[in-house]
A and B are shown apart, each in its own frame.
Chain A
Protein backbone atom coordinates (compact mmCIF):
# COMPACT_ATOMS: atom_id res chain seq x y z
CA UNK A 1 0.00 0.00 0.00
CA UNK A 2 2.70 2.37 1.04
CA UNK A 3 4.49 2.58 -2.33
CA UNK A 4 1.15 3.06 -4.11
CA UNK A 5 0.32 6.04 -1.91
CA UNK A 6 3.77 7.45 -2.41
CA UNK A 7 3.59 6.99 -6.14
CA UNK A 8 0.19 8.72 -6.20
CA UNK A 9 1.34 11.73 -4.24
CA UNK A 10 3.61 13.35 -6.80
CA UNK A 11 0.83 12.99 -9.38
CA UNK A 12 -1.64 14.63 -7.05
CA UNK A 13 0.84 17.40 -6.40
CA UNK A 14 1.37 17.87 -10.11
CA UNK A 15 -2.39 18.00 -10.66
CA UNK A 16 -2.71 20.54 -7.86
CA UNK A 17 0.12 22.54 -9.35
CA UNK A 18 -1.51 22.42 -12.78
CA UNK A 19 -4.84 23.61 -11.39
CA UNK A 20 -3.08 26.44 -9.54
CA UNK A 21 -1.28 27.34 -12.75
CA UNK A 22 -4.52 27.17 -14.61
CA UNK A 23 -6.27 29.46 -12.11
CA UNK A 24 -3.32 31.86 -12.25
CA UNK A 25 -3.47 31.85 -16.02
CA UNK A 26 -7.22 32.45 -15.99
CA UNK A 27 -6.74 35.37 -13.62
CA UNK A 28 -4.02 36.85 -15.81
CA UNK A 29 -6.18 36.43 -18.90
CA UNK A 30 -9.23 38.09 -17.25
CA UNK A 31 -7.04 40.84 -15.80
CA UNK A 32 -5.60 41.44 -19.26
CA UNK A 33 -9.07 41.64 -20.77
CA UNK A 34 -10.13 44.18 -18.13
CA UNK A 35 -6.99 46.23 -18.72
CA UNK A 36 -7.93 46.38 -22.43
CA UNK A 37 -11.55 47.19 -21.55
CA UNK A 38 -10.32 50.10 -19.43
CA UNK A 39 -8.84 51.58 -22.61
CA UNK A 40 -12.17 51.11 -24.41
CA UNK A 41 -11.65 47.72 -26.17
CA UNK A 42 -15.19 46.54 -26.82
CA UNK A 43 -14.32 42.98 -27.89
CA UNK A 44 -12.20 42.39 -24.79
CA UNK A 45 -14.98 43.78 -22.59
CA UNK A 46 -17.58 41.55 -24.18
CA UNK A 47 -15.40 38.45 -23.67
CA UNK A 48 -14.62 39.49 -20.10
CA UNK A 49 -18.26 40.01 -19.07
CA UNK A 50 -19.19 36.61 -20.55
CA UNK A 51 -16.40 34.94 -18.57
CA UNK A 52 -17.54 36.74 -15.42
CA UNK A 53 -20.99 35.13 -15.50
CA UNK A 54 -20.03 31.61 -14.27
CA UNK A 55 -17.83 33.08 -11.52
CA UNK A 56 -20.70 35.29 -10.32
CA UNK A 57 -23.16 32.39 -10.46
CA UNK A 58 -20.84 30.28 -8.30
CA UNK A 59 -20.49 33.07 -5.74
CA UNK A 60 -24.27 33.61 -5.63
CA UNK A 61 -24.92 29.88 -5.20
CA UNK A 62 -22.28 29.74 -2.47
CA UNK A 63 -23.98 32.58 -0.63
CA UNK A 64 -27.31 30.69 -0.70
CA UNK A 65 -29.11 32.83 -3.27
CA UNK A 66 -32.19 30.90 -4.49
CA UNK A 67 -31.83 29.60 -8.08
CA UNK A 68 -34.56 31.88 -9.47
CA UNK A 69 -32.74 34.98 -8.18
CA UNK A 70 -29.25 34.10 -9.40
CA UNK A 71 -29.75 35.92 -12.71
CA UNK A 72 -30.61 39.08 -10.76
CA UNK A 73 -27.33 38.83 -8.86
CA UNK A 74 -25.46 38.19 -12.13
CA UNK A 75 -26.96 41.29 -13.75
CA UNK A 76 -26.53 43.58 -10.77
CA UNK A 77 -22.92 42.43 -10.43
CA UNK A 78 -22.26 43.07 -14.13
CA UNK A 79 -23.70 46.59 -13.73
CA UNK A 80 -21.41 47.18 -10.74
CA UNK A 81 -18.41 45.79 -12.66
CA UNK A 82 -19.22 48.36 -15.35
CA UNK A 83 -19.44 51.27 -12.91
CA UNK A 84 -16.40 50.21 -10.87
CA UNK A 85 -14.15 49.21 -13.77
CA UNK A 86 -11.77 52.13 -13.09
CA UNK A 87 -10.93 50.64 -9.67
CA UNK A 88 -9.42 47.44 -11.08
CA UNK A 89 -5.64 47.38 -10.82
CA UNK A 90 -4.23 44.97 -13.46
CA UNK A 91 -1.36 43.98 -11.16
CA UNK A 92 -3.87 42.34 -8.81
CA UNK A 93 -5.93 39.13 -9.24
CA UNK A 94 -9.07 39.90 -11.22
CA UNK A 95 -11.26 37.20 -9.71
CA UNK A 96 -10.75 38.44 -6.15
CA UNK A 97 -11.95 41.85 -7.36
CA UNK A 98 -14.97 40.32 -9.10
CA UNK A 99 -15.84 37.99 -6.22
CA UNK A 100 -16.08 40.75 -3.62
CA UNK A 101 -18.48 42.66 -5.88
CA UNK A 102 -20.58 39.53 -6.52
CA UNK A 103 -20.65 38.72 -2.80
CA UNK A 104 -21.79 42.23 -1.96
CA UNK A 105 -24.59 42.09 -4.54
CA UNK A 106 -25.67 38.61 -3.39
CA UNK A 107 -25.86 39.79 0.23
CA UNK A 108 -27.78 42.92 -0.86
CA UNK A 109 -30.30 40.76 -2.69
CA UNK A 110 -30.75 38.36 0.23
CA UNK A 111 -31.26 41.30 2.60
CA UNK A 112 -33.79 42.86 0.23
CA UNK A 113 -35.69 39.58 0.03
CA UNK A 114 -35.61 39.26 3.83
CA UNK A 115 -36.95 42.79 4.25
CA UNK A 116 -39.67 42.20 1.69
CA UNK A 117 -40.80 39.05 3.47
CA UNK A 118 -40.94 40.75 6.86
CA UNK A 119 -42.84 43.70 5.39
CA UNK A 120 -45.36 41.42 3.75
CA UNK A 121 -46.15 39.75 7.08
CA UNK A 122 -46.53 43.09 8.78
CA UNK A 123 -48.74 44.42 6.01
CA UNK A 124 -51.06 41.46 6.40
CA UNK A 125 -51.34 41.95 10.12
CA UNK A 126 -51.85 45.66 9.63
CA UNK A 127 -54.57 45.06 7.08
CA UNK A 128 -56.44 42.52 9.17
CA UNK A 129 -56.32 44.61 12.30
CA UNK A 130 -57.00 47.97 10.65
CA UNK A 131 -60.36 49.32 11.94
CA UNK A 132 -61.31 50.65 8.52
CA UNK A 133 -60.46 47.39 6.74
CA UNK A 134 -64.07 46.24 6.69
CA UNK A 135 -65.43 49.26 4.84
CA UNK A 136 -62.31 50.21 2.86
CA UNK A 137 -63.33 51.16 -0.68
CA UNK A 138 -60.94 48.64 -2.18
CA UNK A 139 -62.55 48.62 -5.61
CA UNK A 140 -62.48 52.42 -5.83
CA UNK A 141 -58.86 52.63 -4.78
CA UNK A 142 -58.06 49.93 -7.27
CA UNK A 143 -59.87 51.71 -10.06
CA UNK A 144 -58.15 55.00 -9.27
CA UNK A 145 -54.76 53.35 -9.09
CA UNK A 146 -55.45 51.37 -12.27
CA UNK A 147 -56.35 54.59 -14.08
CA UNK A 148 -53.20 56.28 -12.85
CA UNK A 149 -51.10 53.31 -13.96
CA UNK A 150 -52.79 53.23 -17.37
CA UNK A 151 -51.95 56.90 -17.76
CA UNK A 152 -48.20 56.28 -17.34
CA UNK A 153 -45.81 56.28 -20.31
CA UNK A 154 -45.38 52.82 -21.85
CA UNK A 155 -42.00 51.95 -20.28
CA UNK A 156 -43.06 53.02 -16.79
CA UNK A 157 -46.39 51.20 -17.05
CA UNK A 158 -44.65 47.99 -18.09
CA UNK A 159 -42.14 48.26 -15.25
CA UNK A 160 -44.78 48.72 -12.59
CA UNK A 161 -47.02 45.97 -13.96
CA UNK A 162 -44.24 43.42 -14.23
CA UNK A 163 -42.32 44.19 -11.07
CA UNK A 164 -45.07 45.05 -8.61
CA UNK A 165 -48.47 43.88 -9.87
CA UNK A 166 -47.23 40.57 -11.30
CA UNK A 167 -44.46 40.41 -8.66
CA UNK A 168 -41.88 39.18 -11.13
CA UNK A 169 -38.17 39.25 -10.45
CA UNK A 170 -36.01 41.74 -12.31
CA UNK A 171 -34.64 39.00 -14.56
CA UNK A 172 -38.09 37.58 -15.34
CA UNK A 173 -39.48 41.02 -16.07
CA UNK A 174 -36.50 41.75 -18.30
CA UNK A 175 -37.15 38.54 -20.23
CA UNK A 176 -40.87 39.26 -20.54
CA UNK A 177 -40.53 42.87 -21.71
CA UNK A 178 -37.29 42.67 -23.63
CA UNK A 179 -35.90 45.57 -21.61
CA UNK A 180 -32.69 45.56 -19.58
CA UNK A 181 -32.87 45.27 -15.77
CA UNK A 182 -31.24 48.68 -15.52
CA UNK A 183 -33.93 50.28 -17.70
CA UNK A 184 -36.65 48.49 -15.74
CA UNK A 185 -35.29 49.76 -12.44
CA UNK A 186 -35.11 53.32 -13.69
CA UNK A 187 -38.62 53.07 -15.10
CA UNK A 188 -40.03 51.59 -11.90
CA UNK A 189 -38.46 54.38 -9.89
CA UNK A 190 -39.90 57.02 -12.23
CA UNK A 191 -43.31 55.33 -12.27
CA UNK A 192 -43.52 55.29 -8.48
CA UNK A 193 -42.54 58.94 -8.37
CA UNK A 194 -45.17 59.88 -10.95
CA UNK A 195 -47.86 57.81 -9.21
CA UNK A 196 -47.01 59.27 -5.82
CA UNK A 197 -47.24 62.79 -7.23
CA UNK A 198 -50.51 62.09 -9.09
CA UNK A 199 -52.27 60.23 -6.32
CA UNK A 200 -51.27 62.64 -3.57
CA UNK A 201 -52.20 65.51 -5.91
CA UNK A 202 -55.67 64.06 -6.42
CA UNK A 203 -56.20 63.49 -2.73
CA UNK A 204 -54.87 66.90 -1.72
Chain B
Protein backbone atom coordinates (compact mmCIF):
# COMPACT_ATOMS: atom_id res chain seq x y z
CA UNK B 1 0.00 0.00 0.00
CA UNK B 2 1.30 3.48 -0.88
CA UNK B 3 2.74 5.46 2.04
CA UNK B 4 0.36 8.34 1.35
CA UNK B 5 -2.59 5.91 1.56
CA UNK B 6 -1.28 4.69 4.92
CA UNK B 7 -1.10 8.28 6.09
CA UNK B 8 -4.60 9.05 4.80
CA UNK B 9 -6.01 6.04 6.68
CA UNK B 10 -4.30 7.30 9.85
CA UNK B 11 -5.70 10.80 9.34
CA UNK B 12 -9.21 9.51 8.67
CA UNK B 13 -8.93 7.43 11.84
CA UNK B 14 -7.88 10.57 13.74
CA UNK B 15 -10.94 12.35 12.38
CA UNK B 16 -13.34 9.52 13.27
CA UNK B 17 -16.36 10.61 15.27
CA UNK B 18 -19.49 8.57 16.01
CA UNK B 19 -22.21 9.18 13.41
CA UNK B 20 -25.95 8.75 13.53
CA UNK B 21 -27.03 6.39 10.79
CA UNK B 22 -29.39 7.96 8.27
CA UNK B 23 -32.95 6.62 8.17
CA UNK B 24 -33.89 4.08 5.47
CA UNK B 25 -35.08 5.48 2.10
CA UNK B 26 -38.64 4.28 2.76
CA UNK B 27 -38.85 6.24 5.99
CA UNK B 28 -37.40 9.36 4.37
CA UNK B 29 -39.88 9.10 1.49
CA UNK B 30 -42.79 8.70 3.93
CA UNK B 31 -41.58 11.68 5.93
CA UNK B 32 -41.47 13.84 2.83
CA UNK B 33 -44.89 12.61 1.65
CA UNK B 34 -46.21 13.46 5.11
CA UNK B 35 -44.94 16.99 4.62
CA UNK B 36 -46.81 17.18 1.28
CA UNK B 37 -49.99 15.91 2.94
CA UNK B 38 -49.56 18.60 5.60
CA UNK B 39 -49.44 21.30 2.91
CA UNK B 40 -52.52 19.79 1.23
CA UNK B 41 -54.34 19.71 4.58
CA UNK B 42 -53.42 23.36 5.12
CA UNK B 43 -54.92 24.26 1.76
CA UNK B 44 -58.00 22.09 2.45
CA UNK B 45 -58.90 24.43 5.32
CA UNK B 46 -59.06 27.32 2.86
CA UNK B 47 -60.59 25.50 -0.11
CA UNK B 48 -63.75 23.50 -0.55
CA UNK B 49 -62.78 19.85 -0.10
CA UNK B 50 -66.22 18.46 -1.00
CA UNK B 51 -66.25 20.23 -4.34
CA UNK B 52 -62.76 18.87 -5.00
CA UNK B 53 -63.92 15.29 -4.39
CA UNK B 54 -67.03 15.78 -6.52
CA UNK B 55 -64.87 17.09 -9.35
CA UNK B 56 -62.51 14.12 -9.15
CA UNK B 57 -65.49 11.74 -9.27
CA UNK B 58 -67.03 13.43 -12.28
CA UNK B 59 -64.94 11.63 -14.89
CA UNK B 60 -62.83 8.47 -14.91
CA UNK B 61 -59.83 10.24 -16.42
CA UNK B 62 -59.89 12.82 -13.59
CA UNK B 63 -59.39 10.36 -10.77
CA UNK B 64 -57.05 8.19 -12.86
CA UNK B 65 -54.89 11.26 -13.47
CA UNK B 66 -54.96 12.13 -9.75
CA UNK B 67 -54.03 8.54 -8.88
CA UNK B 68 -51.22 8.70 -11.45
CA UNK B 69 -49.81 11.93 -10.05
CA UNK B 70 -50.00 10.70 -6.43
CA UNK B 71 -48.22 7.48 -7.36
CA UNK B 72 -45.65 9.39 -9.43
CA UNK B 73 -44.89 11.65 -6.46
CA UNK B 74 -44.57 8.74 -4.03
CA UNK B 75 -42.48 6.51 -6.31
CA UNK B 76 -40.23 9.32 -7.56
CA UNK B 77 -39.57 10.33 -3.93
CA UNK B 78 -38.79 6.72 -3.00
CA UNK B 79 -36.45 6.39 -6.02
CA UNK B 80 -34.70 9.68 -5.22
CA UNK B 81 -33.98 8.58 -1.63
CA UNK B 82 -32.83 5.13 -2.79
CA UNK B 83 -30.41 6.73 -5.25
CA UNK B 84 -29.13 9.09 -2.56
CA UNK B 85 -27.63 6.10 -0.71
CA UNK B 86 -24.46 4.56 -2.12
CA UNK B 87 -24.79 0.89 -3.06
CA UNK B 88 -28.25 1.07 -4.62
CA UNK B 89 -28.55 0.29 -8.33
CA UNK B 90 -29.41 3.11 -10.71
CA UNK B 91 -32.35 1.04 -11.97
CA UNK B 92 -34.33 2.62 -9.13
CA UNK B 93 -34.70 5.63 -11.41
CA UNK B 94 -37.22 3.65 -13.49
CA UNK B 95 -39.56 3.08 -10.53
CA UNK B 96 -41.90 6.07 -11.15
CA UNK B 97 -42.16 5.35 -14.89
CA UNK B 98 -45.41 3.27 -14.90
CA UNK B 99 -47.15 5.81 -12.66
CA UNK B 100 -45.89 8.65 -14.84
CA UNK B 101 -47.30 6.92 -17.92
CA UNK B 102 -50.67 6.48 -16.17
CA UNK B 103 -50.66 10.16 -15.22
CA UNK B 104 -49.74 11.34 -18.72
CA UNK B 105 -52.21 8.94 -20.34
CA UNK B 106 -55.15 9.92 -18.13
CA UNK B 107 -54.36 13.64 -18.47
CA UNK B 108 -54.20 13.19 -22.23
CA UNK B 109 -57.63 11.58 -22.15
CA UNK B 110 -58.89 14.51 -20.10
CA UNK B 111 -57.46 16.90 -22.66
CA UNK B 112 -59.31 15.14 -25.47
CA UNK B 113 -62.56 15.11 -23.49
CA UNK B 114 -62.54 18.83 -22.71
CA UNK B 115 -61.20 19.67 -26.16
CA UNK B 116 -64.19 17.88 -27.71
CA UNK B 117 -66.69 19.83 -25.63
CA UNK B 118 -65.07 23.23 -25.18
CA UNK B 119 -61.99 23.45 -27.40
CA UNK B 120 -59.05 25.66 -26.43
CA UNK B 121 -60.22 28.71 -24.55
CA UNK B 122 -57.28 30.66 -25.84
CA UNK B 123 -56.31 31.86 -22.38
CA UNK B 124 -52.92 31.90 -20.77
CA UNK B 125 -53.23 30.17 -17.43
CA UNK B 126 -50.32 31.64 -15.60
CA UNK B 127 -52.06 31.09 -12.23
CA UNK B 128 -51.78 27.29 -12.75
CA UNK B 129 -48.14 27.72 -13.59
CA UNK B 130 -47.50 29.88 -10.53
CA UNK B 131 -49.50 27.60 -8.21
CA UNK B 132 -47.51 24.52 -9.18
CA UNK B 133 -44.22 26.36 -8.89
CA UNK B 134 -45.31 27.95 -5.60
CA UNK B 135 -46.35 24.64 -4.01
CA UNK B 136 -43.26 22.89 -5.43
CA UNK B 137 -40.86 25.36 -3.82
CA UNK B 138 -41.27 24.31 -0.15
CA UNK B 139 -41.47 20.64 -1.19
CA UNK B 140 -38.23 20.98 -3.16
CA UNK B 141 -36.45 22.74 -0.29
CA UNK B 142 -37.46 19.96 2.11
CA UNK B 143 -36.43 17.26 -0.37
CA UNK B 144 -33.02 18.82 -1.12
CA UNK B 145 -32.26 19.28 2.60
CA UNK B 146 -33.11 15.61 3.20
CA UNK B 147 -31.15 14.39 0.17
CA UNK B 148 -28.09 16.38 1.23
CA UNK B 149 -28.11 14.51 4.55
CA UNK B 150 -27.59 11.34 2.49
CA UNK B 151 -24.79 11.00 -0.08
CA UNK B 152 -26.08 11.04 -3.69
CA UNK B 153 -23.42 9.64 -6.02
CA UNK B 154 -25.58 10.51 -9.05
CA UNK B 155 -26.63 14.08 -8.23
CA UNK B 156 -28.28 14.90 -11.56
CA UNK B 157 -30.40 11.74 -11.75
CA UNK B 158 -31.32 12.07 -8.07
CA UNK B 159 -32.37 15.69 -8.38
CA UNK B 160 -34.34 14.96 -11.54
CA UNK B 161 -36.38 12.40 -9.58
CA UNK B 162 -36.70 14.89 -6.73
CA UNK B 163 -38.00 17.49 -9.19
CA UNK B 164 -40.50 15.01 -10.63
CA UNK B 165 -41.70 14.10 -7.13
CA UNK B 166 -42.20 17.77 -6.18
CA UNK B 167 -43.93 18.64 -9.45
CA UNK B 168 -46.22 15.58 -9.27
CA UNK B 169 -47.13 16.33 -5.64
CA UNK B 170 -47.95 19.95 -6.35
CA UNK B 171 -49.90 19.06 -9.50
CA UNK B 172 -51.96 16.66 -7.36
CA UNK B 173 -52.63 19.40 -4.83
CA UNK B 174 -53.61 21.79 -7.60
CA UNK B 175 -55.92 19.24 -9.25
CA UNK B 176 -57.81 19.02 -5.93
CA UNK B 177 -58.29 22.75 -5.55
CA UNK B 178 -58.57 23.76 -9.16
CA UNK B 179 -61.63 25.97 -9.64
CA UNK B 180 -63.99 24.43 -12.19
CA UNK B 181 -63.30 21.54 -14.55
CA UNK B 182 -59.74 21.37 -15.80
CA UNK B 183 -59.83 22.61 -19.38
CA UNK B 184 -57.40 21.60 -22.11
CA UNK B 185 -55.45 24.82 -21.65
CA UNK B 186 -55.20 24.22 -17.89
CA UNK B 187 -53.83 20.74 -18.42
CA UNK B 188 -51.33 22.03 -20.95
CA UNK B 189 -50.11 24.57 -18.42
CA UNK B 190 -49.94 21.90 -15.72
CA UNK B 191 -47.72 19.84 -17.99
CA UNK B 192 -45.56 22.88 -18.71
CA UNK B 193 -45.21 23.64 -14.99
CA UNK B 194 -44.31 20.03 -14.17
CA UNK B 195 -41.64 20.01 -16.87
CA UNK B 196 -40.32 23.37 -15.69
CA UNK B 197 -40.00 22.31 -12.03
CA UNK B 198 -38.36 19.01 -13.01
CA UNK B 199 -35.98 20.78 -15.40
CA UNK B 200 -34.96 23.42 -12.83
CA UNK B 201 -34.11 20.76 -10.25
CA UNK B 202 -32.31 18.60 -12.80
CA UNK B 203 -30.15 21.50 -13.97
CA UNK B 204 -29.31 22.69 -10.46
CA UNK B 205 -28.82 19.12 -9.15
CA UNK B 206 -25.09 19.04 -9.66
CA UNK B 207 -24.66 22.19 -7.62
CA UNK B 208 -27.24 21.33 -4.96
CA UNK B 209 -26.28 17.72 -4.38
CA UNK B 210 -22.67 17.37 -5.49
CA UNK B 211 -20.52 15.60 -2.93
Contacts and interface: CB of A to CB of B under 8 A. Distances in A.
Which of A39, A74, A84, A174: most chain B Cβ within 10 A?
A84
A89 B24 CA distance: 8
B16 interface: yes
Contact of A78 (B12, B22, B86, B154): B12
A97 B87 contact: yes
B9 A38 contact: no
B83 to A, nearest CB: 10
Given A100-B87, A104-B153, A50 B12 contact: no
Interface in A8-36: none
Contact of B9 (A78, A87, A88, A100): A78
Instruction: Kindly state the interface size class of chain B when it binds its partner.
Output: 20 to 34
A82 B18 contact: no
B2 interface: yes
A45 B16 CA distance: 8
Contacts of A45: 12-13, 16
> A-B pairs with the 8 shortest C-beta distances?
A97-B87, A174-B4, A40-B18, A84-B151, A86-B19, A104-B153, A96-B87, A49-B9
Interface of A: 37-40, 42, 45-46, 49-50, 53, 71, 74-75, 78-80, 82-89, 92-93, 96-101, 104, 171, 174-175, 178, 180-182
19 contacts: A45-B12, A49-B9, A50-B1, A74-B5, A82-B15, A87-B21, A87-B22, A87-B151, A88-B21, A89-B21, A97-B86, A101-B86, A104-B86, A171-B5, A174-B7, A175-B2, A175-B4, A180-B7, A181-B8
